[in-house]
């Protein structure tokens, strides 16, 4: 098969592993920086140009689009979809998962476990926001934050009110969520491919940090998940419409709750912690599922 990997940095562990896995299984793979692509929007002859050349029609494309360039990256991916290329994750699904508010609304509608969450822009009534959640401690997030950036813990009522009001001073949208204390600064990342959890790891934040992101100095180890956690992860991926994703769960007293669904999960932490060849399993999924024009939206979304 002729594959394409959409990414900004070909030297990242995840991207090198995906390219290696594709070549080891006998496929040809091109690495494409989506920000250097030009889209030719022409009736009946759509195309994508890269480094001065028109790109071929690939059998499948693996999108690894950074959060900061979601709009342009998904536009390029949508063009490939219009051309009939099979996407591992569709542009609509990626956009849906990147919008924290939209993704939580969709998950809530399907009854997926979530922490109590309030969305706000006008933050002058911080006490009312906290009352809706049940009081401090709470986690306050910038809607556009990634990898733990823009996530703050308000441990007391007064501290939480001050943080909410401070965010209001920079004219931004925020999410305020209940703090799941019983999780103990740990979360579970489940890697979902198709309709299965193929690997799961427990991540713990560094000493004194409630955030468990490995990028922020956290650690990871293999995790044994419960049937409820497995079902929650697969259901969350299905709601988002993602074939490949990382689903981050917290273990609350009332069951697993979803914190985030990541359409471009890093592979280094989970492959190191679990020993599972995640990259190889992604390529295997492509082999079984890639067909020309096989997208739910066909670039319409």
Q: Answer yes or no: pTM beyond 0.95.
A: no
What domains does the chain contain, in order, with CATH numbers? 2-95 (3.40.50.20), 117-179 (3.30.1490.20), 182-285 (3.30.470.20)
Cβ atoms of 206 and 215 closer than 8 Å: no
Q: Which residues lie below 8 Å from residue 136, measured CB to CB, with a gap of 6+?
A: 130, 154, 155, 156, 157, 159, 160, 179
- Residue given tokens 């009312």 in the structure block: 128
Query: How confident is the model over 100-136, as pLDDT tens digits?
Result: 889 999 999 999 999 999 998 767 789 999 999 999 9
Is the alpha carbon torsion for 37, 38, 41, 44 positive or negative? Answer: negative
pLDDT at 33: 97
**Exposed/middle/buried for residue 43 (C-beta within 10 Å: 0-12, 13-18, 19+):** exposed
pLDDT band at 235 (very low <50, low <70, confident <90, very high): very high
Of the two residues 174 and 206, the one the predictor is more confident about is: 174
Query: How confident is the model over 148-191, as pLDDT tens digits?
Result: 567 899 999 999 999 988 887 777 788 899 999 888 889 999 99
- Residue given tokens 């890269």 in the structure block: 50
């Amino acid at each position: 098969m002729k594959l394409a990997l959409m990414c900004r940095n070909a030297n990242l562990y995840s991207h090198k592993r995906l390219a290696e896995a594709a070549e080891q299984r006998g496929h040809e793979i091109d690495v494409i920086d989506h920000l250097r692509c030009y889209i030719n929007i022409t009736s009946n002859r759509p195309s994508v140009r890269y480094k001065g050349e028109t790109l071929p029609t690939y059998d499948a494309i693996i999108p690894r689009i950074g959060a900061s360039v979601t709009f342009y990256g998904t536009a390029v991916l949508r063009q490939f979809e219009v051309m009939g290329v099979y996407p591992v994750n569709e542009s609509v699904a990626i956009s849906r998962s990147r919008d924290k508010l939209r993704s939580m609304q969709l998950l809530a509608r399907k009854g997926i476990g979530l922490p109590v969450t309030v969305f706000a822009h006008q933050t002058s009534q911080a006490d009312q926001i906290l009352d809706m959640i049940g009081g401090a401690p709470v986690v306050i997030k910038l809607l556009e934050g990634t990898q733990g950036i823009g996530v703050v813990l308000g441990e007391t009522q007064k501290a939480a009110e001050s943080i909410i009001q401070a965010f209001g001073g920079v004219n931004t949208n925020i999410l305020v969520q209940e703090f799941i204390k019983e999780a103990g600064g740990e979360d579970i990342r489940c890697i979902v491919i198709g309709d299965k959890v193929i690997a799961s790891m427990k991540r713990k934040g560094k000493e004194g940090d409630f955030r468990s992101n490995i990028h922020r100095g956290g650690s990871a180890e293999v995790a044994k998940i419960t049937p409820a956690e497995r079902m929650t992860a697969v259901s969350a991926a299905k709601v988002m419409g993602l074939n490949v994703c990382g689903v981050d769960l917290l273990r609350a007293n009332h069951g697993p709750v979803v914190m985030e669904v990541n359409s471009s999960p890093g592979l280094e932490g989970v492959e190191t912690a679990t020993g599972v060849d995640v990259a190889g399993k992604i390529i295997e999924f492509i082999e079984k599922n890639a067909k020309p024009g096989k997208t739910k939206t066909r670039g319409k979304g």
